[in-house]
Amino acid sequence: MRKTYDTIVIGGGAAGLMSAVECKRLGQDILVIERNPRPGKKIALTGKGRCNVTTLNHDLSDLISKYQRNGKFLYGAFSRFSVQDTIDYFEKTLKIKLKTERGNRVFPVSNNAVDIIYALQKEISEDILPNTSVLSFKTEGNQIVSAVTYKGEFSAKRYILATGGKSYPITGSNGDGYTLAQSVGHTIVEPKPALVPIICKERWIKKLEGLSLLNVRITALQEKKKIVSKFGEAIFTDNGMSGPIIIDMSRYIGDALEKGKVELSIDFKPALNREVLDRRVISDFHLLRNKVFKNSLKRLLPSSLIPIVVQLSGIDPEKKVAEISKDERGKLVNLLKDFRLNVLKLDGWEKAIVTAGGVDIKEIDSTTMKSKLIENLYFAGEMIDVYGPTGGYNLQICWSTGILAARS
């Protein structure tokens, strides 16, 4: 006679591991079905290998406001398992010491994401079935009776679906969880890459590859109307831009691109208005009046950016600074305050940090993570149609929804 588990967790990522650990601690007989040889592969990539566990934000309303998609759905999960609950769980239950860094980002003291994976995995190491994918569900009425794999069928009283989205497919996130959810009647909101670099049309951008920008403001525009604007850090890539503020703006930009052309406007000197910046340029030009224009911008710009700005300004690179006209200086100031790039597209799934889209939240009880369609099915993590900015917000979704699914 086939064994029946209390709970089968499908997916051994952040949400799946958290669900499984909590189920085990509640005394349940569990099985984790994981397609990779080892669980937690994507956790190892988070926070550049350090694992940005969460964000230190104890104000529930403010926390919810940060989420770019369906944030209000998370009230149930976050009120039942908060940021502080998460910190306490890792430090007191899993014995992982944490620290808070700039931007309220919380990391393990060891700076090693593997320690997070190990702390979760060791609790359930004997309950993981690796190298196994769930191919389909067998159902009777509105209940799942078994999960079908190449290694056989596995039955449980309850199932938690936590297979992740489609981002970073190298980690095993290929969207197969969406197929499983659809097979039992759930609606899938079209998955799209979110928190992803941007590819630009300008070919000369490759000359700026690796240039980091600190304390800049970048605004995305469509037909002169602002789509989204962020202040902070960004970086030029070989074909576009990345970095925290670009990543956080990306899905807004992707949605706008479906309607038409999108431009990025970079303000290299957001702390100075045009008049103050113009006086700063006049001051610099006075000091450097005997130099040629191309050699006069080192006090204003990083060296790799100077040739591009000189070219786009239309000012003769060999012209003496003392001979530059007011109109020409105005063009330079405008470039420094409104440096334009044309967005071609978002980068692909291989570069996306998370997924926008997934199981429709209308079909999930936000207070339990239970399916409204299938009596013994629960959801957790990235496969739900919610996501937030960088900085630990998306892992917090995994921890909170994972715990809530387990406890429900």
Q: Which domain holds residue 220?
A: 198-269
Question: Which one-letter DSSP state was computed for residue 258?
Answer: T
Strands 4-10 and 152-161: parallel
Distant-in-sequence, close-in-space partners of 279: CB < 8 Å, separation ≥ 6: none
Residue 385's Cβ-side half-sphere holds a number of Cα atoms within 13 Å equal to 18
Residue at which a domain ends, from 283, 308, 340: 340
CA torsion sign, 323 to 327 to 331 to 332? positive
384 in a structural domain:
yes
Residue at which a domain ends, from 314, 340, 366: 340
Question: Which one-letter DSSP state was computed for residue 389?
Answer: -
Distant-in-sequence, close-in-space partners of 5: CB < 8 Å, separation ≥ 6: 28, 29, 30, 31, 154, 155, 156, 157
Whether residues 362 and 281 fall in one domain? no
SS (H, E, C) 50-62: CCCCEECCCCHHH
112 in a structural domain:
yes
- Sequence letter at residue 331: K
317-320: long-range pairs with CB below 8 Å, 24+: 317/292, 317/293, 318/292, 318/293, 318/294, 319/292, 319/293, 320/289, 320/290, 320/291, 320/292, 320/293
349 in a structural domain:
no
Distance from C-alpha of 85 to C-alpha of 87, rounded to nearest angstrom: 6
Query: Which pair of tokens denotes residue 125?
Result: 């190491």
The kind and range of the H/E element at 219 are strand 212-222
CA torsion sign, 275 to 281 to 286 to 287? positive
* Nearest of 47, 48, 49, 41 to residue 17 by alpha carbon: 41
Quote the number of domains for the chain: 3
pLDDT value of position 45: 87
Whether residues 250 and 119 fall in one domain? no
Per the DSSP assignment, residues forming a β-bridge with 222 are 225
pLDDT value of position 2: 73
Distance from C-alpha of 408 to C-alpha of 396, rounded to nearest angstrom: 18
Q: What share of the chain is helix, strand, coil (3-state, %, to 5)?
A: 40, 25, 35
pLDDT value of position 174: 86
Distance from C-alpha of 333 to C-alpha of 313, rounded to nearest angstrom: 9
Whether residues 113 and 187 fall in one domain? yes
Whether residues 105 and 184 fall in one domain? yes
pLDDT in tens, the chain (408 residues): 579 999 999 999 999 999 999 999 999 999 999 999 999 999 998 888 999 999 999 999 999 999 988 999 999 999 999 999 999 999 999 999 999 999 899 999 999 999 999 999 998 999 999 999 999 999 999 999 999 999 999 999 999 999 999 998 888 788 999 999 999 999 999 999 999 999 999 999 999 999 999 999 999 999 999 999 999 999 999 999 999 999 999 999 999 999 999 999 999 999 999 999 999 999 999 999 899 999 999 999 999 999 999 999 999 999 999 999 999 999 999 999 999 999 999 999 999 999 999 999 999 999 999 999 999 999 999 999 999 999 999 999 999 999 999 999
CA torsion sign, 231 to 233 to 236 to 237? negative
The kind and range of the H/E element at 405 are helix 393-407
pLDDT value of position 1: 56
Whether residues 386 and 399 fall in one domain? yes
pLDDT value of position 173: 81
Whether residues 149 and 179 fall in one domain? yes
Burial class (CB in 10 A: 0-12, 13-18, 19+), 393: buried
252-257: long-range pairs with CB below 8 Å, 24+: 252/68, 252/220, 252/227, 252/228, 253/198, 253/220, 253/227, 253/228, 253/343, 253/346, 254/192, 254/193, 254/194, 254/196, 254/346, 256/220, 256/222, 256/227, 257/343, 257/345, 257/346
Whether residues 162 and 20 fall in one domain? yes
Whether residues 325 and 397 fall in one domain? no
29 in a structural domain:
yes
Distance from C-alpha of 354 to C-alpha of 221, rounded to nearest angstrom: 24
Look up the CATH number of the domain holding residue 278. Answer: 1.10.8.50
Distance from C-alpha of 46 to C-alpha of 40, rounded to nearest angstrom: 10
Distant-in-sequence, close-in-space partners of 327: CB < 8 Å, separation ≥ 6: none
